[in-house]
Amino acid sequence: MPSARPIRTTKLVSLADIQPHPENYNHGDPDAIGDSLDRHGQFRAIVVSEVTGNILAGSHTFIAAKQSGDLKMLAHLLPNLTPEEEISIMVADNRIADLAHTDDHILAGHLQTLSETESGLVGTGWDADNYDDLMSDLWPSQTFEQDDDGKYTRKVESPVYEPTGERPPIASLTDSTPTDNLRADIEAADLTDDETAFLVAAANRHTVFRYDEIANYYAHAPANIQRLMEASALVIIDFDAAIERGFVQLNETTAALFKSEYPDA
Amino acid sequence: MRKDFAAFILTHGRPDNVITYKTLRRDGYTGDIFIVIDDEDDTADAYHKRYGDEVLTFNKAEIATTFDTGDLSTRDRLSIVYARNAVWKLAEQVGVRYFIQLDDDYTAFSYKMVGVKHDAARPDYWHGWKLKRLDAVFEMMVVFLEQTPTKSIALVQGGEQIGGASSHMGLWKLKRKAMNSFICDVERPFTFVGRINDDVNTYVQQGATGSLFFTYSALRLDQIATQDNPGGMSSTYRDTGTYIKSFYSVMYAPSSVTIRTIGFVSPRLHHRVHWNHAVPKIVAETHRRLK
C-alpha cells in the first residue's frame, strides 16, 4: 500500500529552522541522546513537518544536538501535513516504540559484548548500574556467587596473572613492526652515526610488548633469564603473595564495613 | 583517623565551591584536611578567609621546574599537575606519611555492593551505597599500601565504571590505573608528568616499568562533570578539548596508547590504553625459579 504522506526529501536542515512540536508530551533524555550522538553520530533522521518546521519524531535528538553546538541535522521532511496529521504521527511514533518487546537475553549479550569494548556502554542509554541489574536478574551465577549462607556476593578477579600454555616463541613477545618501519626510514636518511643512534633509540619506544605472552614465557624461562626479566620489569613478582593477600584483605574489610553500615542489606 | 594521614584537596579559583571538603566531612572523614592552592591564584585571600590555617600554598613556578610537562607551552599553568606534584612536599611539611589527594569537586563516596535496597521483591542486586565510614575506608587503603609495593591506590570514578576495556564492574577487582583520588606514601614518591592528562600519562609511563597503580572497583566516588563546574580545569579543557589532551598520553607511551575518534556528528579524539601492551603482568612467586 502506498504511503499516505511520502517523505518529500531527506536532507540536512538548519536547527534554526525547526523546533520541537509545541504539543509534544513525551519527555526524553537529551543527555543520554547526547552521549549516543557523541558515540554514534546521528544514525537516524529526525522527522519534520515541512510546512511548520515542527519535529514529529526526534525532538530530544534535536535538543541534544543543539546542546552540543551542532548547526544542522539530517531530517525526513513530510509535506503538507495538517495539524491533526502532525499530532497523529507524533503519537504513533511514541506509542509504537512503546509497544516493542525486548528479549532481555539477547539484549544482555549485546551489552556484555559492548561492555568489554573500550567505549563500553557509553551512548547506549545503559549504564553500569542498570546493566548489572539486568545481568543479575538473568544470570545471577555469572556475576555473583553465593556464600556459605546462600547470599550473593560479587565474584573476585585477582590482580595476579596466571601464566598459561607452553612456552611461547620469543618472536611472539613483542611486535616491532612500527619500530622496524621507523628504523628503515632512519637508516635511509643521510644522518651522522650519533643522529642515527638517537633516532633508533627513540624508535624503540614504539615496540609493542605483549605482557601476557611475556608472563607465559617467564613461567618457562630458566632462573637467570627470569632474574633479567624481573630487573627489566617485564613481570612483577608478587613476593609472599603480598598483593594477592592485600587484595583479599581489601575485599574482606570492605565487605565488613559495608555490613556494619548496612546490616540489613 | 590515624594521625599519619591527611587529605589534600587541590583547588584553584573557586574558594566558595570546594565541594570535596563538605563531602569528606559528611561521609565520615575526621582527619586533617588541607586546601592546596598555588601562589598564582587570584582568589587566595578568599581561601584563607574561609579555611584559615588549613590552606597550604605552593610556589607554582618552582614546582614547574621539577617535572616534565610534555610540551613547550608557556601560555599558562592552569592544569592540576603542578598541585599534584607539590603535595609530596606539603605532606612532609605537615608531618604525615600517608595522604589522599583529591580534586575539589567530589560529591559522594560510596560502596558498590550487592544487597537489598529499595525493592525487597528483588532480593539480590547491587548499587551504589553511600559511605558513612570514610575514616575506616582510608585506613584500610593505607594498610594496603603498607602491605604491598603499590605506589598509589584510588577509588573508581562513577563515570569510569561505565565501559572501558575489561571494566565489568560485577567483579571485585584492582584495575592497573589510578585517577583523581590518589592515596600515596611519602616514602614511595612518584612524579606526575604531562601538563594535561597527567594521571593517564603517569600510570602508563611508570606502570610500564613496574610501578603499581591500582583502582579498587568496590569503592566509588562521584564528581561533577568537568565542564559543569566553573574554574579549575574547565577552561583548559574548553580551550583544547580532548584533542591535545589525548596526545599527551601517546607521547608518553607510544607503544600502548593510541588515539581514536568517537562520535560522527561532532567527532573528537580520545586516548585508548591497550592494557596488555601497557603494564607488565603481576605473577605469583611460585612461578619464580630459584636456580
Q: Say if CB A143 and CB B112 are below 8 A apart.
A: no
Quote the CA–CA distance of B7 and A232 in Å, as a whole number: 34
Give me the mean pLDDT over the A95-111 stretch. Answer: 79
**Residue A133: band (very low, low, confident or very high) from pLDDT cuts 50, 70, 90:** low
B114/A154 Cβ within 8 A: yes
Note the pLDDT of residue A213. Answer: 96
Picking from A70, A114, A143 by the largest number of B CB atoms within 10 A of its own CB, the best residue to mutate is A143
pLDDT at A2 over 50: no
Name the pLDDT band for A5 (thresholds 50, 70, 90): low
Q: What is the pLDDT of residue B166?
A: 34
Q: Are strands B268-273 and B257-262 parallel, antiparallel or unpaired?
A: antiparallel
**pLDDT single digits (tens) A18-27:** 999 999 888 8
Residue A143: strand, helix, or coil: helix
Strands B150-157 and A235-238, by their bridges, are unpaired
In angstroms, the Cα distances linking B114 to A113, B2, B129, B130 are: 23, 29, 9, 13
Element (DSSP H or E) covering residue B130: strand B125-130
Q: Which of the residues A61, A112, A209, A213 would you substitute to probe the B interface, choosing the one with the greatest number of B C-beta atoms within 10 Å?
A: A209
Residues B258/A135, Cβ–Cβ less than 8 Å: no
* Per-residue pLDDT, A163: 94
Has this prediction a pTM greater than 0.90? no
Distance between CA atoms of A195 and B165, rounded to whole angstroms?
39
Q: Do A244 and B284 touch (CB under 8 A)?
A: yes
Q: What's the pLDDT tens digit per position in A173-201?
A: 999 999 999 999 999 999 999 999 999 99
Chain A closest CA to B8's CA: distance in Å? 23
Contact B18, B35 (CB under 8 A): yes
- Interface-testing mutation among A68, A157, A164, with chain B (most B C-beta atoms within 10 A): A157
- pLDDT reported for residue B261: 65
Q: Enumerate residue ranges in chain B where pLDDT < 50.
A: 120-125, 161-169, 226-232, 234, 237-239, 263-265
The three three-digit cell numbers of residue B270, written as one number: 580520545
Say how far apart CA B179 and CA B199 lie, in whole Å.
6
Stretch A55-60: mean pLDDT, rounded? 93
* Angle at the Cα of B59 from the Cα atoms of B101 and B4, rounded to 5 degrees: 35
Residue A70 has pLDDT above 60, yes or no: yes
* pLDDT of amino acid A94: 85
Cβ B281–A211 below 8 Å, yes or no?
yes
State residue B164's pLDDT score. 31
- Other beta carbons less than 10 A from residue B229's beta carbon: 17
Q: Which residue of B has its CA nearest to A230?
A: B210
Q: Which of B148, B168, B289 sits opposite A115 (nearest CB)?
A: B168
Task: Let me know if A14 is exposed, middle or buried by CB neighbors in 10 A (0-12, 13-18, 19+).
Answer: exposed
Q: Give the residue-averaged pLDDT of A54-71.
A: 90
Evaluate if residue A118 carries a pLDDT over 70: no
pLDDT at A161 over 90: yes
Query: What pLDDT is attached to residue B122?
Result: 46
Mean pLDDT of the residues in chain A? 86
Confidence band, pLDDT 50/70/90 cuts, at residue A219: very high
Dig out the grid coordinates for B60 from the structure: 607554582
CA distance B215 to B275: 14
- Alpha helices, H only, B31-175: 44-51, 60-64, 81-94, 134-147
Q: Which residues of A touch B114 (CB under 8 A)?
A: 136, 144, 151-154
**DSSP E strand stretches across A113-191:** 144-146, 152-156, 160-161, 174-175
Task: Give me the pLDDT at residue B227, please.
Answer: 43
